[in-house]
Amino acid sequence: MGKGPIFAFIGMLICAVGIGGYYGHQQSKAIEEPRIGVVRLQEVVERHPNFHNYDEQKKELLRLEAQRDREDELLKSKLGAEVNKSEEYLKQLESNLTESLNRELQTKIALREAELNQELAAKQRALIEEYRKAYKVEPNEADIEIVNLQLWLTTEMKVKPIDDTQRQRWDTQKREKERRLSELLAQRSHGLSGSDQWKDIESKVAVAMAPARAEAQEKLSAYATEQANALGAQRDRSMKGLVDSQQEVLAKVRHDGTSLWDTEWEQRLAQKRDEVQALHDAILEDIRVRAGVLARAKQLDLVVVDHITDRTGMDLTDEIIQSYGQ
């Protein structure tokens, strides 16, 4: 601890000695200058028998405050680590939930795609039957398969794949159907099946199906967007619930931990501050008493502290120190 003044000031010690008898003197007597005693406060404080104890207790208070600050930083660090751990956990949950909902979206789109393709196939069959009756021709199995393959390839939904798995599945199906269609068309070109009438029917059916294919494409796109938005909102609601719940847990941990910690430390520091203040006040009061005794013995009118006055007077510092019996 530094050697600067530990007390603000001792204050003026007004001595009662001589005040009552002053007015007993003849008033014609000239007014005398007051008799003043001066105390070098810092010296008498540092030489006081209890100063060492006071100084050690004040150092202990400073050590406790420093320890409290260190533990506060450590506690904040631990809580920060818990927050980071919680954030990583929530990120993983969000990733898992998003993956699960994407699979659900993919399944729903595939089912809706199948429904629309069934509707298109039914419409195409009706058109084929209508034109077949007009041309009065009977299709063979190869002709029917060609029509169905052409229907699938021309009505393939151009919705953006959800992920690589769906893209690969569509690409594989498309390659297989294109290969089979090429084989059948090659057979037809060699006269193994079909007729010019069936080619004409296929062409007319393709033209008639164009508006239906466009409408089906719009329906599937709208459905995909609607379901993606709905599942996205579901994910957001779920994550909000998880985040809110996690924040409540962290807030409780933070409150319970810091509140108990703060209470314990405030009690320790308050007790130590009271001890330091009690020693401070006891030393100050003892010096006042000793200065008062000397003032009465020397018939002084008042005693002042050296650092609050520029007036000269009788120095009582050494006598106060001697009175300690050291």
The pLDDT value recorded for residue 253 is 61
* Burial of 74: CB neighbours in 10 Å, binned 0-12, 13-18, 19+: exposed
Closest CA to 201 of 109, 138, 111: 138
Please report the sign of the dihedral spanned by the C-alpha atoms of residue 254, residue 259, residue 261, residue 266: positive
The Cα 166–Cα 106 span in angstroms is: 8
Maximum CA pair distance of the chain?
Answer: 158
For the purposes of burial, counting CB atoms within 10 Å of the CB of 31, is it exposed (0-12), middle (13-18) or buried (19 or more)? exposed
Contact 239, 94 (CB under 8 A): yes
pLDDT value of position 10 = 41
CB atoms within 10 A of CB 22: 11
Domain ranges of the chain: 97-244
Question: Amino acid identity of 313?
Answer: G
Q: Give me the amino acid identity at 48.
A: H
> Quick one: pLDDT at residue 61?
92
Distances (CA, A) of 286 to 17, 50, 52, 209, 324: 19, 10, 15, 112, 10
Q: CA-CA-CA-CA torsion for 277, 283, 289, 294, nearest 10 degrees?
A: -150
CA distance 149 to 240: 47
d(CA 119, CA 69): 74
Segment-wise mean pLDDT, segments of 10 residues, the chain, 326 residues = 38 37 40 83 92 93 87 72 70 81 86 86 83 68 74 61 72 83 72 60 83 89 90 84 70 62 84 94 94 91 74 84 86
In 159-195, which ranges are continuous DSSP H helix?
164-189
- pTM comes to 0.45
Per-residue burial over 46-63, b if 16 or more Cβ lie within 10 Å, else e, is eebeebeebbebbeebee
